[in-house]
Structure 1
Amino acid sequence: MKLNSLRGRLSGKNNSSDAKGQTQEDRSFFDPAPVKTVEDGKAYLRRLQKAQKQKEAEESMQSASAYGMENSYQSDAFGIYGNASMVPRVYQASGFDPYLRDVSIGDEEEDPLRTSSLPHIAWQQLEEWGLAMFMHLYCRNIRRLLAYHVKDVVEAFLENANALNECGVMADVLLRRVPSQALLCPPGQTNQMTNVSLSDMLQNLAKSPLFFSKERGVYLFEEHQSFEKYLNVGDPSSTDYSSLERQQYVLERLIMLSKDRSLDRFRWNKGSAWKGKEWTENLPTDAEILMNTFCCMMDNMLPADNERDRPFWKSYYFSKGPNRPFTPRVRSRLFLVQTVGRPPHFKALVKGAVREIVPGEENCFHAIVVYLHAVKKMKAGYLESINLHRIIEQVFDVSK
């Protein structure tokens, strides 16, 4: 008898509330959700779920206390429908996924684009995309790919520096150890240039026939410009972004990382000692250097206006999380985002949806793998009409 009475009380809660003359009307579950964007939809869904849980808890406590059965029944005591939550589904064409981590808009402490990821959430998303099982092999492949690229870049840089040194440019200037040289006199020339900085050389002598390599058919200073993007690591808005001291550190760190094919000297949350002192947070970490190297590698694959142009880095990378609400450009593209500076943490922003990435030593490699998988899955392996199948196959080939 008590069981039937309890069922009737739970099913007739709306009638009892009407009898009390309450004037407040609840929103119907069949009414359209008041959402306009993906973030609004996910926040609205979470509010509904939270309100539903609180309501069920209050009703269960009231029912239990009224019949003296505080511990007799659980929330799912009446079968599979006992704990059902009548929450409306929100469908949007922009890629809404209620399982992705969500936050209230404007809350920087909980914004996934300004925080690191929870490991279990990140692994869950990897499983959803079918990447969890072989992720260690994908990371191995991307480490090798970056190691080979770093080695090629370092060798090409040193070859270019030797050629410029034969033309009268000091090695210390090219290695960013000193800002300028007092005299510059190319071979076979009588005119001397005084107090010339490296930036002046790159700007004024890029197309000079005096610094043209007949063996390789390239202008040496123009070629040297293509290496600058590898040395500029970090936030472009910072004052020391392109300082010579910072470039010198990155260059020497790249030379050190190029000495093996598996990046065994990689230290994800710091770097190496510098000028007899321990590494400080003013210098970039190895994870930031390698992420910038990947962006440079992608820059080389996309159409560019000149040697200094960075099409991928400008269009598909954020050194910090973008502001909300997202623009149509952000909602339609795939991005790599550095969400935390120290220790460094990267995530993927896939058409407005944040993909959580496992934190720690392998974070930057995980982020690159997830990003390339998104390009493969959502862009058919193309980025701006450029076929990336070659690099995608190298990363996701687990047979080697």
Structure 2
Amino acid sequence: MTVSNGLAEERAERTSDLSVSAPALSAPQAPSPPCVGPDEDPVARDRHRRWCNVRRVLLVRLDHLGDVLMSTPAFAAVRETLPWTELTLLAAPGTEVLKPHLDMLNDIIGVNVPWMKAGARALDAEPSDMRGEAERHLVRRLQRGHFDAAIIFTVCTQSALPAALVCRMAGIPMALAHVRERAYGLLSDEVTDPDVVGEGMRHEVQRQLDLVAHVGLSTADDRLRFRVLPRDEAAMRMLLRQAGLGEGQGYVLVHPGASASSRRYAPEAFGQAADLLLQRGDTTSTAVVFCAGQSEQGLMDTARAAMQGPSLVLPRFPSLGELAALVAGARVLVANNSGPVHLAAAVGTPVVDLYALTNPQHTPWRVSARVLNHDVPCRNCQKSVCVQGHHHCLRMVAPIEVARAAQALMGAST
């Protein structure tokens, strides 16, 4: 088994509202203050100067919640370097709920696009005479936004060119993205993509920071951002009381879900690990709380049924903000590589990450962590379903190792 330590160089300090967010937005200014460009060479200075003249920027990140969260340091770099800009995020449907939690954004547009898996599935279900209407509607909507520039964020296995084409059709004059083939007129600023899935590749967060750095945009704080709202903290305190958590009692949060089956540790093993953790600690001071998405109720039920000791579950499914408050209040999160792990990184909660070896790029960022897996020849497969059928990269991790990792993180945080 491989056990890697994702201990932060500097642990995110928990503020009174658990905020790790950029400064509050200021109104766009005209003219903008002078922008100091990079001093590497005249070409870099000129490139940076062009970007200092933008007023409305479209940020494009069309995949999962965790990917959006891992892009927030790059979003913050745009906001902090160009504080006079209006920033709009173009993202997958449902991500609009992020808006009150990401201070650097002015707006979020949720949309299905045919070059993303989930978007293609949704659009293919539409009547044939509606084909292409979603793309035309998107172009019209972006035209109404009068954007001066777009930054297209992708993982290394995605192409930025479809989004770049839409931006060009919408009349956005400047666009920045990673590319493997020449984009010519589709991008004003292209960065050759060196990443190949495998050992030694850049972390997803660093990849996006490097992208915006190409045009001179940077931040001094590269941690993930997510602002936990006081109303969500209050709602979560009530939900935990209703679930049976005692006054002043701490809790370990267990989240057995993940969008892809290849990234799921067996739910029974989650339950066994939680049981072992209770046996090794003081159950009067620390409880086990289970949480999962609405489609993952069965995973949670199976995990709890595998336990001999007690566990708690919320009386209803939490909203995204409430889930973040739940993660923020936990002594440690035990989860698969999924959105809650990146929420934990954003709010500074230690995390035990059952990390399937499908892609090495998305480990917990700048937070105390233990990343657990078992090395296999088929590592970096990028598959949503284990094509080998054995799932050894997770199945071979013993529940006692999970319990020990969680206990070690709780000890380190006290």
Q: TM-score range by the shorter chain?
A: under 0.3
Q: Could you say which structure has the higher helix fraction?
A: 1
Larger Rg: 1
- TM-score, normalised on structure 1? 0.23
